[in-house]
Amino acid sequence: MSASNLPFTVSGGVVLVTGAAMGMGRLYALRAAREGAGVVILWDVDADGLANTAAEVTALGARAVVRQVDLADRAAIAEAAAECTSEGPLTLLVNNAGIVRGALFWDHSPERDIALTMDINALAPMYVTHAFLPGMMADAARPRRILNIASAAGTVSNPRMSVYAASKWAVIGWSDSLRLELEQQGFGHLKVTTFCPSYISTGMFDGARGPLLTPLMTPEDAVDRAWRATLAGQPQLIAPATAQLGKVLRGLLPVRAWDFVGGKVFGIYSTMDKFTGRDQKAGTR
């Protein structure tokens, strides 16, 4: 049987999670360990958080490999990737790390906000994937997966998150294009899933409120949905269902009509009005 037709599992495999020190990254790492991963590679800039996650992963029976990596630094990514390729080809890569700056566009600092957001959210997943992709493509002995964490913000425009939305639009376009390239070039054992959640109660979006009929998801629910979609090789998951509805309506309605429905009816355009967020360390989510 071809590896592309075998059920996907991380059991005995190698999993890399970026932004693994806290939040959803930590949960992805623990999920991998619980499901029998042999090695869980943990990347983040937060050394203390990494140590805590590593201890939990080890207690679950997996071997934790810790690398303190600034994902805004392309050279640091390359160096860490070179160190970790000795673990063998990845069974699962989770590009989870991300930051958000909630402000009007003209209040963004070019370096601290715009460049940093694009570096971590949009460019880092590309650089990390590019480093590990050859090994994942070449070894077709088992199914392999890439999970890219985007956002529903990459499917609809929203005031006070223009740069964040831009970074997630970039992730969606790149991630799904990569999926198609792998499919068309015969790498059926390697599937890409793009996860586009609405607001999640990790602390990253403190102060934000969900649109009409769209409560904040818990991190546990979001990770479970993304994990199951990845196991199934689902190309894209937008969650919850009302976030998918928003994408559909935005595509069908004229711009001004959508502005009224999205802004006035669903309240999307005011969801970030009271955003406070939390202090972000480069590479955490």
Instruction: Kindly list the catalytic residues.
Output: 164
Q: How is the beta sheet containing 144-149 ordered, strand by strand? A: 63-68, 39-44, 14-18, 92-95, 144-149, 190-197, 236-239
Helix axes 23-34, 47-59, angle to 10 degrees: 20
Say if residues 99 and 284 touch (Cβ distance below 8 Å): yes
In whole angstroms, what separates CA 143 from the centre of its chain?
20
